[in-house]
C-alpha cells in the first residue's frame, strides 16, 4: 500500500463545490491529517508538495474521509483563495471563464479580452449596459439568431466585468444558492 497513490478530491466545506483533484501517497495523507493543511504527491515531479506553498492559497482541512475500499480520499476544506493555478476558485471551471483568464494572462497584442480588461471597470460597465439594452431589444423584435448573438455579447461582457472587479462566477452561484433557502 505504501507506494500506492490515492486520488484525493478536495471539496469546499462551505459551498460543497469540488475545488480540485490531486494525488496522495501515505506521507501526503498523514501530513494532511497532522498539519491540517492539504498535501499532495506530485506525479510529474515525483515529490511531496503542500497546496499553497507557492501561491499562499492553502487548503485548511475540515474533514478527511476515505472511500469504501480506501483507495480514494475526500477532503472537505476551506480555501484561503483561488484553488486553481489559473486564478479560478475551482479547477473545474466553465470554459468561457477559463478562456477569459487565459487571454488576460497572455496579454497578447490585439486580444479583445486583454485590451478591454486593461481599459477597466468603467469601460466594461458601460459595455454591459449597452449589451443589456441590445439583448432586451432583440428579444422583443429580432430573430432567434440575433437574440442569441446579443445575449452572447451580454454574457461575455458581464463575465469580463466580474473579472475586472475581481469577482469569480462561483460567487454569483453561491449568492443564488443562498437565496434558494
Site for Zn ion, rule CB under 5 A? 84, 91
The least CB distance from residue 52 to Zn ion, in Å, is 13
CB 4, CB 71: distance < 8 Å: yes
As measured in angstroms, the least distance from the Cβ of 99 to Zn ion is 15
CB-nearer residue toward Zn ion: 64 or 91: 91
Nearest approach in angstroms of CB 19 to Zn ion is: 9
**Residue 40 β-bridge partners:** 49
Nearer CB in complex with Zn ion: 39/157: 39
Output 101 or 124, the one with its CB closest to Zn ion.
Answer: 101
**If you write DSSP's letter for every residue of the chain in order, what string do you get?**
-TT--EEEEEEETTT--EEEEEEE-HHHHHHHHHHSB-EEEETTTTEEEETTTTTS--EEEEEEEE-TTSSEEEEEEEESS--STTS-SSSS--HHHHHHHHHHHH--TT-HHHHHHHH-HHHHHHHHHHHHHHHHHHHHHS-HHHHHHHHHHHHHHHHHHHHHTT--HHHHHHHHHHHH-
Smallest gap from residue 93 Cβ to Zn ion (A): 8
Nearer to Zn ion, 28 or 161 (CB): 28
Give the residue with the Cβ less far from Zn ion, 5 or 84: 84
Separation between Cα atoms, residue 145 and residue 161, nearest integer Å: 24
Amino acid at each position: 500500500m505504501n507506494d500506492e497513490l490515492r486520488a484525493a478530491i478536495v471539496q469546499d466545506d462551505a459551498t460543497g463545490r469540488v475545488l480540485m483533484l490531486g494525488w496522495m501517497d501515505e506521507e501526503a495523507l498523514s501530513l494532511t491529517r497532522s498539519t491540517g493543511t492539504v498535501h499532495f504527491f506530485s506525479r510529474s515531479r515525483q515529490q511531496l508538495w503542500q497546496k499553497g506553498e507557492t501561491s499562499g492559497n492553502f487548503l485548511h482541512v475540515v474533514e478527511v474521509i476515505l472511500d469504501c475500499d480506501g483507495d480514494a480520499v475526500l477532503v472537505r476544506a476551506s480555501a484561503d483563495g483561488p484553488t486553481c493555478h489559473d486564478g479560478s476558485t475551482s479547477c473545474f471551471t466553465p470554459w468561457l471563464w477559463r478562456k477569459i483568464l487565459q487571454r488576460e494572462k497572455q496579454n497578447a497584442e490585439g486580444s479583445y479580452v486583454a485590451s478591454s480588461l486593461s481599459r477597466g471597470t468603467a469601460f466594461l460597465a458601460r459595455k454591459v449596459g449597452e449589451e443589456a439594452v441590445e439583448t432586451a431589444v432583440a428579444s422583443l423584435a429580432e430573430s432567434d439568431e440575433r437574440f442569441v448573438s446579443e445575449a452572447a455579447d451580454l454574457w461575455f461582457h458581464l463575465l469580463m466585468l466580474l473579472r475586472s472587479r475581481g469577482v469569480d462566477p462561483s460567487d454569483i452561484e453561491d449568492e443564488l444558492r443562498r437565496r434558494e433557502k
